[in-house]
Amino acid sequence: MTWREPDRGIGFVLTGVRTAVSILGIELRRSAALGAALLVLVVGVVALYVAPGRWSSGWLSLALSMREYTIFLWPIALAAGAWQGRREHQSRVGELFSATPRSRARRMLPLLGATALAIGSAYVLVTAVGGTTFVAPFHYLPPGFFGITAAGALSLAGAAWLGLGLGRLLPAAVTAPVLAVLGVLLVVFGAFVRPFWLAAVLSPMYGSLQFYAYQTIDGRVSVAFSMWMAGLALTGAVLLIAERRWLVAAVLPALVGLGLAVVIVPRAEAVTEAPIDPSAAALVCTDDAPKVCVSRVTRGVLEELTPLAREGLAILSRLPGTPAEVHEDIRQYGSGEGPSETGVVLLAVTVDKRGHLAHPASVVPRIVGSLGVTRRGSCDNRNSAVERAAAYYLLGRPPVSDVGVMPGVTGEGPELNRLAVRLWQGLRQLPEKEALARIAEVRQAVAECEDSSELLRPPAR
């Protein structure tokens, strides 16, 4: 007999699990949870694939893009919950159900569970669909990805629960569309309130504006935001379950959640405004020389970048004292500080929507165009025509406009390249040794932020 007790206990647990699953399945079929989840899935996938270049650089970018798209998904979840919350009122079965021996809480718990499961799973599924695009070339999966994604899924489940409660409280046909509009306003304006730490607590899309591939959302910020979302979710649950005389107490969970979030969230702007994941930004380098290094999140393009980077270094080596390594530029957005290493060419590395190196034809011109100088901030004495003429002399071809060659350059004055061509023609008239010496002077002037305008004079006519 004593040996059968554990079996009976396990059987009781399994029976309870099967019953719960059956109840959830029934609720999923009879409620609007699956329809809402399908809408979240469709809108999320469409939003991802309208601009895949925004998130194709890695898992962190995907997680942040999904949080950005909560501007659509959060209001959808809120409105779907409100539409479902008016079900009893619309069917006019409230009095019938109140006469049954089951409490309202027991009747509503399956609805709450099914709604949270369906909509939260839809968010995760959209993320998984996006992840299958680059799971092969990008092997680095940072731990922060899971926290950012979990907080996003919780926010949608919380929005749906809040909608359920508000739908029961205000069972009018216009409640759902009005809440959808209000949801958009909350998500958008909440992301731009100040100070930054308050915006990080209030809005699910805060921190999703991406400046670099290794940007993240701090784990403490995710925890604080989750507290606020959990408070809103519990408020919605109380509104859905409680008797009318207790509805005023529904605001307490939201207040408690917001209070805990405000206490927990970090105050430093370095944490709340576009922080980096140090592990994701760590450099991964080739084993052989000349060394080429990229950040861990973009290591999938290292093999494509290496021969191009080495070609650029070989061209630069015609000048004395030029760098012998190329590193991805991992300086933070808006920072003028350079890396701790010296003697390297810094190169911005981007990934296209297929997970490959973006703009490969620009790699060699960018490396040679830098003349091997890492600029640490702006320099008022730069002369672009002189630098272009020097670079294209090393490249062995006439200067061309940066438009269509350099990423992000959309226009320039026609006189700039005409002057660069004249200076380049003057260099070609000189003996190679003298031309390289003058280019070395240009490089030195660029490094010291001095005026280089007179270092390559066009020939007199």
Q: Supply the pLDDT for residue 97.
A: 46
Higher-pLDDT residue of 186 and 92 is 186
Q: Supply the pLDDT for residue 17.
A: 54
What is the chain's mean pLDDT, rounded?
A: 84
Residue 341 has pLDDT above 50, yes or no: no
Please state, in angstroms and rounded to a whole number, the distance separating the CA atoms of residues 448 and 461: 32
Angle at which helices 70-85 and 104-131 cross, to 10°:
160
Average pLDDT over residues 39-68: 88
Residue 92 has pLDDT above 60, yes or no: no
Q: Supply the pLDDT for residue 377.
A: 61
Q: Supply the pLDDT for residue 220.
A: 94
Q: Which of 83-92, 177-186, 242-251, 446-455 has the highest mean pLDDT?
A: 177-186
Average pLDDT over residues 10-21: 57
Angle at 138 between CA 137 and CA 143, to 5 degrees: 160
Q: Supply the pLDDT for residue 340.
A: 39
Which amino acid is it at 15?
Answer: T
Higher-pLDDT residue of 377 and 6 is 377
- pLDDT tens for 237-256 read 999 888 777 778 889 999 99
328: which residues sit within 8 A by CB, 6+ positions away?
Answer: 283, 293, 294, 295, 298, 346, 347, 348, 349
Return the minimum-mean-pLDDT range out of 193-202, 265-274, 277-286, 371-380: 371-380
Q: Supply the pLDDT for residue 93.
A: 45
Residue 185 has pLDDT above 80, yes or no: yes
Please state, in angstroms and rounded to a whole number, the distance separating the CA atoms of residues 420 and 171: 71
User: Which residue reads 């935001």 in tokens?
Assistant: 225
Average pLDDT over residues 87-113: 63
Residue 141 has pLDDT above 70, yes or no: yes
Percent of the chain with pLDDT over 70: 84
Q: Supply the pLDDT for residue 339.
A: 43
Residue 407 has pLDDT above 50, yes or no: yes
Radius of gyration, alpha carbons of the chain: 30
Q: Supply the pLDDT for residue 209.
A: 84
**344-347, strands of its sheet edge to edge:** 283-285, 292-295, 325-328, 344-347
